[in-house]
Structure 1
């Protein structure tokens, strides 16, 4: 069994991917150092994982669950240059003859920077010289341990920057065009990955009682508890067929601008006039955002019009949202569109809609207060 320490190069120094675990969570997340702190790039990671927008489940799934928790050794706050390292880590996880390991146990170190698109092309990123400088101490430490290192990036220009950096002799520089170029350098080829996928048995345990999952404070403006419950979708016969395409309403039985107290559960209703692709985001008091729709349990959020949907509830978001500290003002915004726009909305910010000219989009927002 070959063991690899995988690092995503950043301008603050290399960040190691510590482990990947399958989780019964509504979306995939990146956590800091095995704590409950969920990093702001988690939405991008979830998009990178999910079928349709991303490549991870397509290439290496299915898994025991449809979402992952990825733990890293240090913060990564923005950008997409982590994608190459994350792809490599998932490839190692899927392989039968390789695994992630700390440096002390590793046979080889992977130092990686680059984006990965839907066709598995590796794209160039900015600040490669700065990332090299921020990594010099670790390159020297790996050399002292006599650990072979593969330093891989996109294109000849960035690879030449690595070759000219005067790195220790055990560092092999690799210029990548696709992810296949990287995997070919490792003792696990496409055949190994296909075999790993074909022989993996996927099972879902039956639970005789409701189950819970708590996201950390960054994701939930305080923690949110997600509990499984039965589907509940009702048809509203009062909706006229002449409602504008994709018109949408978001309401609470507590009226406009409802107040929820710690320990209470959100209970909302989403109503559509006509069939539409729906995206919903929960903007929390701490500034973080949780994508409610689509999610790992309902990855294709194309909903039938003329209906009201419980949110959370049913197959849409089969979990409960329990309000917890900190207190503050929050909002949930849902967008209904005449085409799929999941990849265009990473966090539900209105400024992202400006690039969707020609798409029919309707939005509904419900503001709420969270109190002790």
Structure 2
């Protein structure tokens, strides 16, 4: 390969030559020692570029990516924030995504959970607690009607409607009493969504954690687990110690996931992660190392991926979705670097170039030459000459 000149954040450029060998074939099977979900992104058709008439999902590429995850032995967390919920994917499209993905999961015996939230409510006004509860109930019924497990997503509408912690107790209690199967509760911190500041009715994270534990303790048989996305590993470790026996702690920490999944010898986190989409082949291999009782082998495979994860999830963190879609396109999992709401333009070219470089160094591109051609094309389209 001749190499590619990549733009740098300082305004300069550097010549990069691909050198890492791509990962070979992998006969994936689900890990036994951990439950691992990849929060999957949505591939958009070119019509979804700025100026288009609304979101247009490339269903073939979107569902094909999920089959790839199942083929690697990973579960799929569907219609989560990685799928641009609230950032281009509305509830009608999310509902169809949940239906289609759930059908595909049953066809291949794949593990799936799906996000149930309140995003059918208008975002520009405050809603009553009854309206928020009804919105949650509609989405929960849809997910369970598709015979999938539900993730009760943190709700901006609930954060706006709640007057205090008692309102969270009321809403989540009502939902858990009527759920037909155990659900995952999702604590998404303001680093991922500033609209969720003060969630659980408290600005202080200690008090917020206390309330979350109280909700779980009141309905332990209705809670499969808690997904915590605060980018605070010590707080996650504390929370998982406090959960009732049998309730999982799913790490959503895309900065510290290797140590949290590996565990401390007594307790370990399962995972529901956006980064697991881009690094799925390495995550799947690492999980099987844990099954063999080889935590050192697990860390040797997964620790090198953290630099890429921290780059993709750098502030402003909600824009990590752009890098996820870029890497899927470079790897050949979709034919277009197009995103709902034109989000492909949300990150700078130097940021995208570094993402390409880090992913290539990990061997994540099945065809490095294709990845280089596509990266060169992207730079040319955006006015960067070789």
Work out whether the TM-score is over 0.5.
Answer: no
The TM-score, its normalising length taken from structure 2, stands at 0.26
Where is the helix percentage greater, Structure 1 or Structure 2?
A: 2
Where is the strand percentage greater, Structure 1 or Structure 2?
A: 1
Structure with the greater alpha carbon radius of gyration: 1
Higher relative contact order (CA 8 A, sep 6+): 2
